[in-house]
Chain A
Amino acid sequence: MTRPFVFEKPLGMRDTLPLLYETKKKIRRKMEAVVQSWGYQFIATPTLEYYDTVGSASATLDQQLFKLMDQQGKTLVLRPDMTSPIARVAGSSLKQEPYPLRLAYDANVFRAQQHEGGRPAEFEQVGIELIGDGTTSADGEVIALMIEMLKKAGVGQFQVAIGHIGFIHSVFVSILGNEERANKLRRFLYEKNYVGYRQHVKELSLSSIDKHRLLELLKLRGGKESIERAYELLPGTEGERFINELSNLYAILESYGAADTLKIDLTLVSHMNYYTGIVFESYAENLGVPISNGGRYDELLAKFDRPAQATGFGIRLDRLVEAIDQREEPSAAITGIIFSPERRQEAIELAREKREEGKMVVLQDLNGVQDVDAMSEQFADVIYCIGKNGRGGKS
């Protein structure tokens, strides 16, 4: 093994330089303000968790987990998402707090990347979880909150695709008869392979009506009217329940004034077996990947001994920054005070004065600078306290 170069970082790890740091901070603050105004409370959890608890409960694929061992030989993971740690907190430290819980986070999560090493393996997510509320109002609330956050963050054009895992599952089980066959078909949707889906359906020994129903599922994309069409695939009370849920959700989001960004997409399967109901993803113009995703996960909390229905989402800050594509100016106007040692006292006092006025001030000993002109150029404003006679010149 060759040693890494001194400037190298582990695969997928990135530095954040001042310009990007400021941009991220600004966007983060805007979103945090929205989250807080909706009454969600921020929490923080450890970076390391046990593989057997949070690691195995999380939605992240096993091969994407960063694993390491503690001194007792237990396997640890760098948290791959924030949902399972929050579920752990809800089931332990916040056990006494009544449901529903409204919690928020802003944290770095870690996922080892399969392809191409340059993709970020550590990235910041801002998100929320609404735990212990199974109503469609709760689904509506989190989607509306996400839309509000994206708008306030400054994303111009974006779309939110809404699907329903429970609906797909019921259609498949009602036609195919068992879970195993349903999962096989669902995998094609998860892999976004419509061609494989169609071929698989054609090869199944089913009535042509049932085959037709399965093929029609691929067309359930578009506006509000797709919800109506969905009913034809799953007639009966079960279908009615899902259709009502989706139409209610649509109506709720209309009440929030957020319906203009919605797209129904009942082929959306964002995970093989994590989500249980309504799922959603958002996409911004000029970015090929989702900037946020979420959905209902009614089975996770039971793994932490406090069963509850829950929903939530995470927004990827790195992708959001790319989607917004606006960089902050490096922190606006910094004043530089360059002094020679004999006037240090005066310079320190001047700096204090200005800092109290709310100005950003750099205090620099002249002897520590190699190129005064280059140094001065970094500042919006430079004050020289140099030499013996009074206050120095300003430039």
Chain B
Amino acid sequence: MKEWLTVAMPKGRIFHEAVDLLRKAGYDLPPEFDDSRKLILNIENERLRFILAKPMDVPTYVEHGVADVGIAGKDVMLEEERDVYEVLDLKISGCYLAVAGLPEQTIQDVAPKVATKYPNVASKYFREQGEQVEIIKLNGSIELAPLIGLADRIVDIVSTGRTLKENGLVELEHIIGITSRFIVNPASYRLKDKVIDDMVERLSEVVEGESNDENNSAE
């Protein structure tokens, strides 16, 4: 009998892309999966248990071993620095972390304020740039901060740039590209290695297949 595997999934935007990917990898996930409001979903025939977590919390569940594997954005991995294996780049939910601000904004000399959902990433980035900044942690609607004078700049993820544009902000610096990653708990990686290796194998075939298609169509 195959062992049960617990998969931590991010709710929201990434969820549908991740489910799509799992289906392409041959996992038989029922249609009602897509808009269930349950937080725990058991797929008996695949022996998979899905837990639906806030994207920022996925690495936490995996690090503590209550989920064996998970799907988490690289932005979250950088921010949380959890002790988990980052095994595969799933190349879904592509976006990037950027510094943005109002155009023609004069930056305060002493310690410009930076609002962000990613205080660790932001402070590391500005430290590496040799810039002295004050980081202000916000939990959402980051674009608001420069508009009403809470901060001079923001660090946030940008996917299409539409939100920035609609709020009259411009991108100032590109920090790092972000995609979703397949992450694994270190203990599960040994104890359930067969099931996990199989999943990684199947997912990587889908991911590589798709990126090859893209390369071909680009040629």
Contact = CB atoms under 8 A, between A and B. Distances in A.
Interface stretch (A246-254, A278-286, A371-379): A278-286
Contacts of A157: 191
B198 to A, nearest CB: 12
A195 B89 contact: yes
Contacts of B86: 192-196
A287 interface: yes
A283 B85 contact: no
Contact of B85 (A115, A192, A222): A192
Contacts of B186: 192, 281, 283, 288-290
Contacts of B66: 288
Contact of B187 (A192, A221, A222, A284): A284
Residue of B89, B181, B186 with most partner-chain A CB within 10 A: B186
A23 interface: no
Interface string A204-248: 000000000000000001100000000000000000000000000
B20 interface: no
A161 interface: yes
Interface in B183-219: 185-188, 190-191, 193, 197
Contacts of A263: 190, 193
Nearest to B187: A283
Contact of A288 (B81, B89, B188, B193): B188
A228 B62 CA distance: 32
Q: Binding site of B, secondary structure by majority: helix, strand, loop or mixed?
A: mixed
Contacts of A284: 187
Nearest to A198: B89
Contacts of B87: 194-195
B64 to A, nearest CB: 5
A170 interface: no
A290 B181 contact: no
A199 B83 CA distance: 20
Interface residues of A, number: 24
Given A286-B65, A288-B64, A192 B190 contact: no
A30 to B, nearest CB: 22
Contact of A283 (B64, B89, B190): B190
Contacts of B65: 286-289
Contacts of A289: 65, 83, 186-187
A75 B99 CA distance: 42
Given A192-B186, A288-B64, A283 B191 contact: yes
Nearest to B82: A115
A195 B88 contact: yes
Interface in B55-95: 62-66, 81, 83-89
A284 B31 CA distance: 36
Interface in B74-121: 81, 83-89
B83 A221 contact: no
A192 B185 CA distance: 10
A119 to B, nearest CB: 11
A199 B177 CA distance: 13
A284 B181 CA distance: 25
Nearest to A282: B190
A340 interface: no
B187 A288 contact: yes
A226 to B, nearest CB: 11
A199 B74 CA distance: 14
A194 B191 CA distance: 19
Interface string A184-201: 000000001111101100
A278 B33 CA distance: 45
B191 A192 contact: no
Nearest to B190: A159
A219 B87 CA distance: 11
Contacts of B83: 192, 289
Contacts of A122: none
B116 to A, nearest CB: 19
B159 to A, nearest CB: 20
Residue of B85, B186, B190 with most partner-chain A CB within 10 A: B190
Contacts of B89: 195, 198-199
Given A288-B63, A289-B65, A194 B88 contact: yes
24 contacts: A159-B190, A159-B191, A192-B83, A192-B85, A194-B88, A196-B86, A199-B89, A221-B193, A222-B193, A263-B190, A265-B190, A281-B186, A283-B187, A284-B187, A285-B191, A286-B65, A287-B65, A288-B62, A288-B66, A288-B185, A288-B187, A289-B65, A289-B186, A290-B187
Given A195-B89, A289-B65, 11 more contacts: A159-B191, A192-B83, A192-B186, A194-B87, A195-B88, A199-B89, A283-B191, A288-B63, A288-B64, A288-B66, A288-B187
Interface of A: 115, 157, 159, 161, 192-196, 198-199, 221-222, 263, 265, 281, 283-290
Closest 3 CB pairs of A and B: A288-B65, A283-B187, A192-B85
